[in-house]
Each structure stands twice: as structure tokens, then as C-alpha cells.
Amino acid sequence: MVDAATKKSLAAIPLLKTKAGPRDKDEWPQRLKEEVTSLIKYIQNNKEADNDWLRIQSNKEGTRWFGKCWYIQDYKKYEFELEFDIPVTYPSTAPEIAIPELDGKTAKMYRGGKICLTEHFKPLWARNAPKFGIAHGLALGLGPWLAVEIPDLINRGVVKHKDDVEGSIKAGDEQQ
């Protein structure tokens, strides 16, 4: 079930109207405009609610997305690179969001750092496609995943803050 705060946040994200994926050359630009509008509104809403937790951008075609997401615990910001490609069957199929630097560090992740969303998120996406878009995937997929998995990884010592360890890769570090 979705809690009241999530429902309120979700209701503020514009639904999408155009059913088009990257292969739909005529309608994909319109879908992409709707996606960007929805993402801007979602990020703006998060900032207004003092819940800013991600930055995201895409390639020119809107088929590859990348950025940063973060989680704050004990007044420390743990930052991670995120990435995903838009599936050719989009919007019927949800994107597989990946945090490559966490690959192999939790059971709730697939090869390549793709976060596990099969149990709860994918059925929800299937019921709401094509109205759901990238912002909905971040709000209902990545956000809850971070909220559950990152504290556990921190508490088990799998993820360390950049200020706590020297000489190893830590959350928030830029790789040289």
C-alpha cells in the first residue's frame, strides 16, 4: 500500500498523455516534452517540501538518463550515480534504474546495479501505463528503494560516508 504522503506527492506529479516510445519517431518528441514537464514539476515539488534528493538529465534523444541521487542519514549525505535507458517497449515497460556503484552490495539488486522493483513497483506501473512516466518511476521506485536499502547498507558498514574512510570508494566520491 502507498502511504498518505506518497499519495499526496504522487498526485502532484502530472500524468502523461502520449503513448509513445523511442521507436515512435513522430510522437516520441511530444512524450519527451511531457516527461520533462513532469520531472520538472516533481523536482520542484520535492524542493518546496524540503525533500530534494536527485538531479537527472538525458542525452539529446531522451533515451539515456543519468544523474545523482542521495540519501541523508545522521546529518551525512550519501551520494550515488544513477542511470537508466528507456526500453524500446516504453511506456508499457518501466525503465530499469541502476546505481552501478552498489552492484553486488545488496540482494535487492540485479546485475549491473539495477535496483529490484519487481514485487511492488512493476505491477503498479503496468496498471498505470502509459500515464506514468520517469518522474513516477523515481517517486515510486527509486525513492522508496533508497529509503529502505541505503540505511541498511550504512548500518551494515557496506556503504561508508566519504568523510569516514580514506583511500576507498565511498558514497559521494567522484571516481578519477
Q: Is 69 a catalytic residue?
A: no
- Cα distance between residue 70 and residue 23, in whole Å: 32
Q: Which residue among the candidates 12, 15, 36, 116 is catalytic per the annotation?
A: 116
**3-class SS string, 21-70:** CCCCCCCHHHHHHHHHHHHHHHHHHHHHCCCCCEEEEECCCCCEEEEEEE
- Cα distance between residue 147 and residue 151, in whole Å: 7
Question: What one-letter code names the amino acid at 147?
Answer: A
- Cα distance between residue 131 and residue 58, in whole Å: 20
Q: Within a 10 A sphere around the Cβ of 111, how many other Cβ atoms?
A: 8
Q: Which residues are catalytic?
A: 116
